[in-house]
């Protein structure tokens, strides 16, 4: 099965740049997803915790629930920071890959490819001139 989207992976620098771009998109999606889910969980726990804190006398079950909600908030804050640090690291790596890949591609590979295209154009011009000369000679012979 052939890919419908042609990926320009003819050199390693393009691969670095495209992989970095993909990693940046994935990291952005992960950040938004994690941020949203932790906020949603935090809001839900906050409301329930405030309701329990407002009650004058708590049963053993309510005290246990309050303790669990407080611990969940602490763990959620710690987990969110950890995951956001990992995402921040992956964003940094992706930006480095993008900059390095595109810069190397532009500075090293593209000038060579431009020169190849220029030489091919010169070669085609010479071939066209030769063909025209051969056609004009063949007309003169007739």
> For residue range 12-44, what is the model confidence (pLDDT) as tens digits?
888 899 999 999 999 999 999 988 888 888 888
pLDDT band at 85 (very low <50, low <70, confident <90, very high): very high
The whole-angstrom separation of Cα 92 and Cα 84 is: 12
pLDDT at 10 over 80: no
Q: Could you state, in order of their start, the residue ranges of all structural domains in the chain?
A: 12-107
pLDDT of residue 2: 61
pLDDT at residue 1 above 60? no
Looking at every residue in the chain, the average pLDDT score rounds to 87
The full DSSP string for the chain is ---SS----SSHHHHHHHHHHHHHHHHHHHHHHHHHHHHHHHHHHHHHHHHHHH-SS--HHHHHHHHHHHHHHHHHHHHHHHHHHHHHHHHHHHHHHHHHHHHHIIIIIHHHHHHHHHHHHHHHHHHHHHHHHHHHHHHHH-
């Amino acid at each position: 099965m052939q890919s419908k989207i042609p990926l320009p992976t003819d050199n390693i620098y393009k691969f670095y740049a495209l992989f970095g771009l993909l990693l940046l998109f994935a990291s952005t999606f992960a950040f938004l997803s994690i941020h949203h889910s932790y906020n949603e969980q935090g809001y839900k726990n906050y409301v329930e915790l405030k309701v329990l804190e407002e009650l004058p006398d708590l049963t053993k079950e309510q005290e246990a629930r309050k303790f669990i909600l407080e611990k969940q908030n602490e763990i959620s804050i710690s987990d969110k920071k950890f995951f956001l640090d990992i995402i921040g690291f992956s964003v940094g790596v992706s930006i480095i890959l993008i900059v390095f890949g595109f810069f190397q591609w532009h500075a090293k590979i593209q000038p060579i490819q431009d020169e190849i295209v220029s030489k091919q154009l010169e070669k085609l011009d010479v071939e066209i001139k030769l063909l025209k000369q051969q056609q004009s000679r063949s007309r003169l012979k007739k």
